[in-house]
């Protein structure tokens, strides 16, 4: 759905590959590889399939139920060719909404666990990334996500993969999924990633409280935080100070926070309070297909329902450029972000 904010040049820093899979592509990939028969998903019943894969009213804001959809989505990320296609299509879809800079995050841990080689994952990412940039003209960085629920050895393997892929599009790491696995469990792997020159973001304050935000910043040395919705929940001053003192940027996600029951409606999102407190933030899609999110519409919500002015949105966008994981592109991108 295009809104009058379609024309606005946009940055999307928090965008999951698995939440970007087109339903048509999912069906094709599953049928081509015979996976539909292996796991007995009825590919010819599109309504049933969408209920399985896409967050809707029937999910009733159940965070863990929403997370379970990734189990089914990842079946389509079956090999190098599938990874390449999905990365390219996610870039293509972002470009179609006038996104000028995208950071796309993929979760290598579950792919390694099912036997896809490190080399094929890196190669698939590189091919899709390079083709996407070439054909759409937008700039893209890749983030390798660590799945909290997996054994810590997979976190180590994801960091190894990210280090090897640093010249092939991968620029950072993320800590994903259920915050009941606290960030301090991953301190050593994050510090190793920092020493290697990888940028770092952490899902924190989505369902966990202020403590996870502070730990992610002070112990994992996060450059950015994903969501941060609960930064004010337990100890507002301490959470705010940790983020401000370390110049940490927060990747906000409006509609998906509603979809999974994190907040009741978009107007309650704390993004405006964050901006008033001087915190650097931006607006992102998170899982555009899975949660039916269009970034243009998110900007419209920010303006019309939260009350963030277009002048504030402009300042937000330009400030976000200082927190991208491809800093060498900052000056190039400043010439692209023209709002008049």
Q: Residue 169: pLDDT band by 50, 70, 90 thresholds?
A: very high
| Alpha-carbon gap, residue 292 to 305, rounded angstroms | 18
- In 58-151, which residue ranges form alpha helices assigned H by DSSP? 63-73, 80-95, 108-113, 118-136
Q: Which CATH number fits domain 10-15+84-333: 3.40.50.300, 3.20.20.140, 3.40.50.150, 3.90.650.10?
A: 3.20.20.140
DSSP secondary structure code for residue 329 in this structure: G
- Residue 107 confidence (pLDDT): 97
Q: Are 168 and 130 in contact (CB under 8 A)?
A: no
Domain ranges in the chain? 10-15+84-333
| Alpha-carbon gap, residue 153 to 288, rounded angstroms | 30
| Mean model confidence pLDDT for the chain | 94
Q: Write out pLDDT tens, residues 108-128.
A: 999 999 999 999 999 999 999
Q: Write out pLDDT tens, residues 201-257.
A: 999 999 899 999 999 999 999 999 999 999 999 999 999 999 999 999 999 999 999
| Alpha-carbon gap, residue 316 to 240, rounded angstroms | 18
């Amino acid at each position: 759905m295009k809104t009058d904010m379609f024309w606005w040049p946009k940055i999307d820093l928090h965008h999951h590959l698995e939440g970007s899979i087109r339903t048509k592509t999912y069906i094709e990939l599953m049928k081509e590889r015979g996976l539909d028969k292996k796991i007995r998903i009825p590919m010819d019943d599109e309504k049933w399939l969408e209920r399985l894969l896409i967050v809707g009213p029937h999910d009733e804001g159940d965070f863990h139920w929403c997370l379970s959809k990734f189990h089914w989505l990842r079946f389509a990320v079956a090999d190098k060719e599938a990874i390449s296609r999905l990365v390219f299509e996610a870039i293509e879809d972002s470009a179609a909404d006038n996104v000028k800079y995208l950071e796309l995050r993929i979760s290598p841990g579950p792919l390694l666990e099912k036997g896809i080689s490190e080399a094929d994952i890196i190669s698939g990412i590189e091919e899709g990334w390079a083709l996407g940039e070439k054909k759409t003209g937008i700039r893209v960085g890749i983030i390798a996500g660590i799945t909290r629920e997996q054994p810590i050895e997979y976190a180590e393997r994801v960091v190894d993969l990210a280090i090897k892929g640093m010249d092939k599009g991968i620029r950072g790491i993320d800590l994903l999924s259920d915050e009941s696995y606290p960030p301090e469990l991953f301190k050593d792997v994050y510090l190793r990633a920092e020493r290697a020159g990888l940028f770092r973001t952490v899902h924190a304050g989505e369902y966990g409280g202020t403590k996870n935000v502070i730990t992610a910043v002070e112990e994992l040395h996060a450059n950015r935080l994903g969501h941060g919705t609960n930064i004010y929940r337990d100890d507002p001053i301490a959470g705010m100070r940790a983020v401000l003192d370390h110049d940490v940027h927060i990747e906000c996600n409006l509609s998906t926070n509603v979809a999974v029951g994190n907040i009741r409606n978009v107007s309650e999102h704390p993004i405006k309070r964050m901006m008033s407190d001087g915190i650097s933030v931006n607006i992102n899609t998170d899982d555009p297909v899975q949660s039916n999110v269009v970034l243009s519409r998110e900007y419209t919500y920010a303006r019309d329902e939260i009350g963030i002015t277009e002048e504030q949105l402009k300042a937000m966008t330009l400030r976000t450029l200082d927190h991208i994981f491809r800093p060498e592109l900052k000056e190039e991108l400043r010439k692209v972000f023209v709002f008049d």
